[in-house]
Structure 1
Amino acid sequence: MKLSDFRDLDFQNAGNWPQGVKMTFCVLLFLVICLLGWYFQIRGQQEDLEGKQKQESSLKQDFSIKQAKAVNLEALRQQLEEMKDMLRQMLLQLPSRTEMPELLVDISQTALSSGIENDLFQPGAEQIKEFYAEKPITLRMVGSYHQFGAFISGVASLPRVVILTMHDVSLRPQPTQATAAGAKPALMNGPLALEGTVKTYRYVDDDEQAANAPPAVPPRPGAAPPPKPAAGGHGGMQ
């Protein structure tokens, strides 16, 4: 087969082409068909295959993580129940609703017995949270450093667990005649003024939680009714 065989080709009479030319054109046509087939068919399938392989790897990793959690599920449930029991026991150590007024009196009396002057001791409105209630107290007390230490120690020794958190509380030396004359205030022995807001807490029992729970949202008109339990089943939460 010579180069001149390709120069004088008659495309309207391809049947009379030399045998070598026919074979060459068949090979070229086959390669073009393969290239077009790969570009329009196989290329997209290869990209899909790579995407599926990456998805498979991600799903295997997720499966391994979830399988490890499923293996320890019972132990985690038991641990959760133990933590709930511990929380219940800790909440029961807080004062109840009926004990709160007496507790406020005890706190005030503890301050007085420590030698602290209660210029202001004003309980505010109670705020009920999910399983506890907080009672803000606006106060202004005047006493020495050691008197405040005795007050804190006395509150800690009350029969019920008393939690006091401070909010916007300041502790400053109380002006006296000596400091007014220019003397430096003595932080350890001089009078101190503590003012601001503290909060104390009590636990909320189940009945009170139910009473303060938000009302159930009624179903929208036209909404499907909730499914009925199967015969022989028992409702409720575990």
Structure 2
Amino acid sequence: MNLSDLNDLDLSNVANWPLPARVALIGIVFVSVLGLGYWFDIKDQGIRLEKAEKKEIELRQTFEAKARKAANLAAYEQQLEEMKASFGAMLRQLPNKTEVAELLVDISQSGLAAGLEFKLFKPQNEVPKEFYAELPISIRVKGTYHEFGNFISGIAALPRIVTVHNINMTPGNDN
């Protein structure tokens, strides 16, 4: 079969074509069907597969992170309970409004018990903070270094939270 014979082939009567022409036509149709099938179906599935693989990697990382957290859940719960207990204990150490006067007396008594002489004991206005309120007190005392140390130690031993700030110590006239 030569090239001029191809012009004589009748598309409406493929059954009478020579065998090589029929095989070539079947091959062309087969390759065309495969190509169109790939183009319209398999190509989209490949794109969806890539997206699914990326999603799998993300989900696997999320799962591993959550698995690590779950493995430590008991320790986290124990730590949370300890923090709640500690927070509750600290809250109980903060004086409420009715206990402030008693706390001021306790501070004054600590100073007197340490041997200090109070020159000034002046509570100032309350300064509100996020979870508590500060009650600054201006105190001026006269005494020895060791008496002052005993006073600070006495304040630290009080059952309430008291902090000491802005300390200025100067030697007195009588040393």
AA matched with 1:98? T
AA matched with 1:133? Y
Match in the other structure for 2:133: 134
Is 1:9–1:17's contact at 8 Å kept on the other side of the alignment? yes
Normalised by the size of structure 2, how large is the TM-score?
0.64
Match in the other structure for 1:20: 20
SS in 1 for 2:85: helix
As a proportion of its length, which structure holds more helix?
2
AA matched with 2:79? Q
Is 1:123–1:136's contact at 8 Å kept on the other side of the alignment? yes
Q: Return structure 1 stretches of 4+ with deviation > 6 angstroms.
A: 105-110, 139-143, 150-153
Q: Deviations over 1:158-185 (max 9, x none)?
A: 223213689xxxxxxxxxxxxxxxxxxx
Match in the other structure for 1:38: 38
Is 2:126–2:133's contact at 8 Å kept on the other side of the alignment? no
Unaligned runs of 5+ in 2: 142-146, 171-175
Query: Superposed, which structure 2 residues align to 1:145-160 within 5 Å?
Result: 154=151, 157-158=154-155, 159=158, 160=160
- Deviation of the 1:19 alpha carbon: 1.9
- Deviation of the 1:106 alpha carbon: 6.5
Match in the other structure for 2:87: 87
Q: Deviations over 1:181-214 (max 9, x none)?
A: xxxxxx996xxxxxxxxxxxxxxxxxxxxxxxxx
Is 1:124–1:136's contact at 8 Å kept on the other side of the alignment? yes
Change (3 A) 1:84 1:50: same
More displaced, 78-87 or 19-28? 78-87
AA matched with 1:122? Q
Match in the other structure for 1:76: 76
More displaced, 23-32 or 48-57? 48-57
Q: Deviations over 1:20-78 (max 9, x none)?
A: 11211110111111111111111111222222223223323322332332233223212
AA matched with 1:33? V
Unaligned runs of 5+ in 1: 144-149, 167-186, 190-238
Q: Deviations over 1:122-162 (max 9, x none)?
A: 314756x5xx421465x88999xxxxxx9898566422321
Ranked by relative contact order (alpha carbons within 8 Å, sequence separation 6 or more), the top structure is 1
Change (3 A) 1:30 1:47: same
1:163 matched to 2:155? The reply is: no
For this pair of structures, how many residues does the alignment match? 163
Partner residue of 1:123 out of 113, 122, 125: 125
AA matched with 1:30? F
As a proportion of its length, which structure holds more strand?
1
